[in-house]
Structure 1
Amino acid sequence: MRRWQMRRNCALTPKQLLQFYIALVCLSLIVATGFFLAGVWVIPIFTALELTAVTIGFLIYCRHALDSETIEVDGKRLMVKKFIGYKETFYEFNTQWAKIEPPIEGSKIFHISQSNMRVELGQFIRYEQQLALIRQMRACLG
């Protein structure tokens, strides 16, 4: 069985991001509380707006931090699993009938197709890596 996995290149894992977020919230609330106790009531309002915007941004980041695409070839089965935004989709092809369509120069994707089913892959790897992956996969196909 051959297996290839392509993942999004993220600087922080969701756990690391949560730790950073907690530190950021604590620091912002300490500063806002200090200004509020000093009689400057406008700063806590802007702190709440800032934390709301940061929270939305971090939630969007976390939603896609674990995105991946996995391709497995096992005998006559070619299986593709896509995990995008906490939604997992699974496709199964026959290795003798599946067709790999290489990417167009500068494109971020290539396709695997069979009959009326077509799957878009390769969004997490560079063009050169796509070509190498396609060569390796074609060696496994019938």
Structure 2
Amino acid sequence: MRRNCALTPGQLLKFYIALVCLSLTVATGFLLAGVKIILIFTAIELTAVTIGFLIYCRHALDFEEIEISGTRLLVRKFIAYKETVIEFNTHWARLSQPGEHEKIFFIEQTGQKVEIGQFLRREQFKNLISELRPYLG
């Protein structure tokens, strides 16, 4: 399950470079025309865009992965460049039934609990739960 992102970090970098070149070209044109104040606004614009793109890139590669192998259930989450891996036994793991409007559910087993489903649409959510149930005890 992956985050729905329109651009990969590589595509975003190309777009960012084009945006910076265009902004600096326009700012240089105004500077040559004698309007020096435009440099301040260009710097503010590029700073804001840079911060926004950095936040976007930080989460563009986020994913959740569930792997079932025999009696082993492995949940791997990669959120904001931090990877978490939790292992469950399929005989003891349980699914928490999500509420009507909840966007996530939990897989839990004796003190361990992990939230799953933050990247899914509602119709995918129910399919995932129905696929997981037969494997869990």
- TM-score bracket for the superposition, by shorter chain length: over 0.9
Q: Percent identity of the aligned residues? A: 69
Match of 2:36 in 1: 41
| TM-score relative to the length of structure 2 | 0.97
Match of 1:71 in 2: 66
In structure 1, the gaps of 5 or more residues are 1-5
Provide the aligned C-alpha RMSD in A: 0.8
Superposition deviation, residue 131 in structure 1: 1.5
Match of 1:92 in 2: 87
Give the letter for the 1:75 counterpart: G
Distance 2:97 2:19 in 1: 44
**Matched positions, count:** 137
Task: Tell whether the 8 Å contact from 1:100 to 1:111 is kept in structure 2 after alignment.
Answer: yes
The structure 2 residue matched to 1:104, chosen from 92, 95, 99, is 99
Deviates more, 1:51-60 or 1:120-129: 120-129
Task: Tell whether the 8 Å contact from 1:112 to 1:120 is kept in structure 2 after alignment.
Answer: yes
Task: Tell whether the 8 Å contact from 1:72 to 1:78 is kept in structure 2 after alignment.
Answer: yes
Match of 2:14 in 1: 19
Instruction: Describe the SS at the equivalent of 1:7.
Output: coil
Task: Tell whether the 8 Å contact from 1:98 to 1:113 is kept in structure 2 after alignment.
Answer: yes
In terms of fraction of residues, the more strand-rich structure is 1
Would you say 1:10 and 2:17 are equivalent positions?
no
Superposition deviation, residue 127 in structure 1: 2.4
Task: Tell whether the 8 Å contact from 1:106 to 1:127 is kept in structure 2 after alignment.
Answer: no
Superposition deviation, residue 59 in structure 1: 0.3
| TM-score relative to the length of structure 1 | 0.94
Distance 2:94 2:64 in 1: 18
Would you say 1:129 and 2:124 are equivalent positions?
yes
Distance 2:40 2:32 in 1: 14
